[in-house]
A and B are shown apart, each in its own frame.
Chain A
Amino acid sequence: MSSEPLFRQRFDICGRDYTNGGRASIAIKGILREIGIHPSVIRRVAIASYEAEMNVVLYAHKGAMELKVTPKDIRITVEDDGPGIPDVELAMQEGYSTASDEIREMGFGAGMGLPNIKKNADTLAVDSVLGKGTTVNIMIRL
């Protein structure tokens, strides 16, 4: 199958660890640059993965992000054990946010996270179960 990954790497993400928030996405950016992916694709992947990573940092206790590079596309899967999203459709709307003051003080929670991911991805699937967690699947074509 041509969708067999050429490269795969998993990163752990720690909730509320603002100091290290974003490190996985910056590592992904470096990996894609080394592989020789086009800069415009790297920018889209980096923004989408950073928003997804920050959602884990800001809302969950822990999570993980997996990068898969195939000959056709780049896939990012982010899973967390957070509170889940009550209404995914609503969360996709620009400006809708349930962020706490703490999150807003960190410069996030403007209700642009999922819309930003959607804007940069070719496909985005959000699977969320209240009280269990959220899985975000992002695909960007090469």
Chain B
Amino acid sequence: MTLETVRRLLNCQVIAGDGKLGEEVWVGCGADLMSDVLAFIKPDALLLTGLTNVLSVRTAEIAEVRAIVYVRGKLPDKEAVSVAKEKGMVLLSTDLPMYESCGKLYASGLAGGSELKEGLRDVQRAPVPSAF
């Protein structure tokens, strides 16, 4: 899924990386605790979080996250934006809460971490019910 699609689905404001919305993410992860991100996230993921400090961006860089969506209308702090710009990471912000943000992306085809085989882009997941 392209980051432009993510932006459109969640009606995001683009905080950093405006020129990189054509890039793709392969898997999503929603977490506010950074150790959970490090424990479970796959490379080239989209991270959805409510944590707005610079450690969200540092953790994302360590975990090879491609872009961060700050949920619940939160905006990353100045330091986080500055580090993201320096590293070329895309930062988005949506007014939607975490559950709805993840639900919309999942229903539109963005896989979860347990569905992505290590090192593969090949996702095997159960079909999402049409009423979702």
Contacts and interface: CB of A to CB of B under 8 A. Distances in A.
Instruction: Classify the secondary structure of B's interface with A.
Output: helix
Interface string B6-40: 00000000000000000000000000111110110
Contact of B58 (A26, A113, A116): A26
B39 A19 contact: no
A112 B62 contact: no
Contacts of B61: 22, 26, 29
Contacts, number: 65
Instruction: Classify the secondary structure of A's interface with B.
Output: helix
Interface residues of B, number: 22
A51 B55 contact: no
Interface in A19-54: 19, 21-23, 25-26, 29, 40, 43, 46-47, 50-51, 54
Contact of B55 (A21, A29, A110): A21
B54 A107 contact: no
B38 A107 contact: no
Interface of B: 32-36, 38-39, 43, 49, 51, 53-56, 58-59, 61-64, 79, 119
